[in-house]
């Protein structure tokens, strides 16, 4: 997963375009599915989202996705789960202070955001993650037009 995450950040401009192309279709489909089936298909939809986003972005399914704002680097991979930039413990070589074998999630995020058309969004302040949303679907929230950060 880590290698795919690095690839997604390196190709964040492409991933942003793909997201902007595919996301409306996903939301329209999910709106129809949720109208017909209600919440009966939530578990398989969440599993599909977790599988796809987990593979491509090492997504931690926090339920408040910020990938489009963080250069396709999931901030929940930060050992300190920081959503607004590095903790100040970034090593001189850009590696994490807690996991020295891992590039700082926020170094990657700024790198990825610098390639994206919507890269300025990384400067917006994010709310702290609501841990009650862990394991929930951002896609379903958007399809049902519930409040979300994305």
Whose CA is closest to 134, among 51, 22, 59?
A: 59
Residue 149 within any structural domain of the chain:
no
3-class SS shares of the chain: helix, strand, coil, % to 5: 55, 0, 45
pLDDT at residue 145, as a whole number: 85
pTM: 0.85
* Nearest Cα residue to 149 out of 90, 84, 57: 84
How does pLDDT run across 61-98, given as a tens digit for each residue? 999 999 999 999 999 999 998 888 888 889 999 999 99
**Can you give the residue range of the structural domain that contains 65?**
2-143
Query: Reduced to 3 states, what is the DSSP secondary structure of residue 95?
Result: strand
For residue range 14-44, list pLDDT tens digits in order: 999 999 999 999 999 999 999 999 999 999 9
């Amino acid at each position: 997963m880590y290698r795919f995450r690095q690839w997604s950040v390196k190709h964040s401009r492409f991933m942003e375009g793909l997201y902007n192309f595919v996301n409306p279709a996903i939301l329209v489909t999910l709106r129809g599915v949720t109208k017909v089936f209600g919440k009966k298909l939530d578990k398989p939809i969440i599993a599909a989202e977790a599988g796809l986003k987990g593979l491509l972005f090492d997504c931690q399914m926090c339920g408040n996705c910020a990938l489009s704002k963080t250069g396709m680097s999931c901030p929940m991979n930060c050992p300190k789960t920081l959503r607004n930039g590095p903790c100040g413990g970034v090593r001189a070589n850009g590696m994490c202070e807690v996991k020295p074998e891992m590039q700082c999630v926020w170094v990657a995020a700024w790198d990825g955001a610098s390639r994206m058309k919507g890269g300025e969004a990384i400067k917006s302040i994010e709310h702290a993650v609501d841990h009650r949303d862990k394991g929930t679907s951002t896609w379903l929230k958007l399809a049902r037009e519930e409040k979300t950060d994305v």
